Amino acid sequence: MIKWLQYQLNLFLLALSFFSRLPMAKSIQYSPSKMRRSSRYFPMVGWLLALMLSITYWLLVPYLGSAPSLCFIMVLSLLSTGALHEDGLADTCDGIWGGHTTERKLAIMKDSRIGTYGSCGLIMALLSKFTLLSSLAGHNILEIGLLIAYPLSRAMAITLVQDMQYVSNQIPTTGSKSEPLAKPFSFKTLCFVLASGALACLFLPLTTSFYIMCGCLVLRYWLKYWLNKHIQGYTGDSLGTAQQLQELLIYTIILANAH
């Protein structure tokens, strides 16, 4: 039992090291198979980040007010994750709208430079996030919004590996950070990912939770269609895009049902 718990803790820390820039112990054991199994804990990483941001906001808002505190936790989120998902969103916007063929789109997505499409997408995503978080704070539901959106958006994004093709290896590359994760989950693991991602929905009215799950599923299948149309599958960047769009959608649905 102790060995099993130690193994699961190692998997969680691997997931945390993938999705964050938080300091990690050097004793973490890595292998591609362990990295693949660690993906079951991606929603739990969202839980940890959401709790950290909620506590920080709660501590700051009496002294700074709502808007400065929101700016601070958004910066903290970017620093904590290394802007991993935001980088994926920018690269996806550049690639899909900047290329005319699948090969060209994938090549642009691999380019570390950001273009006009990526800049516009990133700016609008951050502006939308600040606006939605401000409104959630005004309704005193910011914390629950974070606790739902951070885990659930990560859970919904990673489910794209279930029925889509991983395509980063179709162009010359030195290796992708997301490649070890490009394996479907077992049914049991998929249920754990979705349950841990959606757990905080229990704090919402049933109808709001229903709208959130329906909205996330619709967006998930639209993303599948959209990505297959443009690049015939998914990349690590497109998983980051999925996470960002799912997060914004969840905030929007919670806010729409708060009035």
What residue type is 45 in one-letter code?
A: V
The residues that bridge with 166 in the sheet, in sequence order, are 234
Q: Enumerate residues 6+ apart whose C-beta is below 8 A from 21.
A: 79, 80, 81, 82
C-alpha 54/C-alpha 61 separation (Å) is 11
Contact 69, 227 (CB under 8 A): no
Give me the percent of the chain exceeding a pLDDT of 90.
74
Separation of alpha carbons 70 and 67, rounded Å: 5
pLDDT at 180: 63
- 10 Å CB burial of residue 132 (0-12, 13-18, 19+) is buried
pTM of the shown model? 0.93
Q: What pLDDT, on the 0 to 100 scale, is given for residue 242?
A: 97
Question: Which residue type, as a one-letter code, is found at position 66?
Answer: S
d(CA 154, CA 15): 12
Tokens encoding 85: 């998902």
**Residues 27-54 pLDDT 10s:** 788 777 788 888 889 999 999 999 999 9
Residues of the chain with pLDDT under 70: 168-182
Identify the pLDDT of residue 169.
46
SS3 189: helix
Q: DSSP secondary-structure letter at 232?
A: S
Sign of CA dihedral 195, 221, 167, 88: negative
pLDDT for residue 171: 47
Measured between alpha carbons, how far is 181 from 164 in angstroms, rounded to an integer? Answer: 12
* Identity of residue 57: Y
Distance CA 64, CA 61 (A): 5
Residue 218 contacts residue 139 (beta carbons within 8 Å): no
C-alpha 123/C-alpha 125 separation (Å) is 5
Of 218, 215, 204, the residue nearest 252 (C-alpha): 215
- The tokens for 111 are 């380019």
Looking at residue 2, its pLDDT comes to: 81
Three-state secondary structure call for residue 185: coil
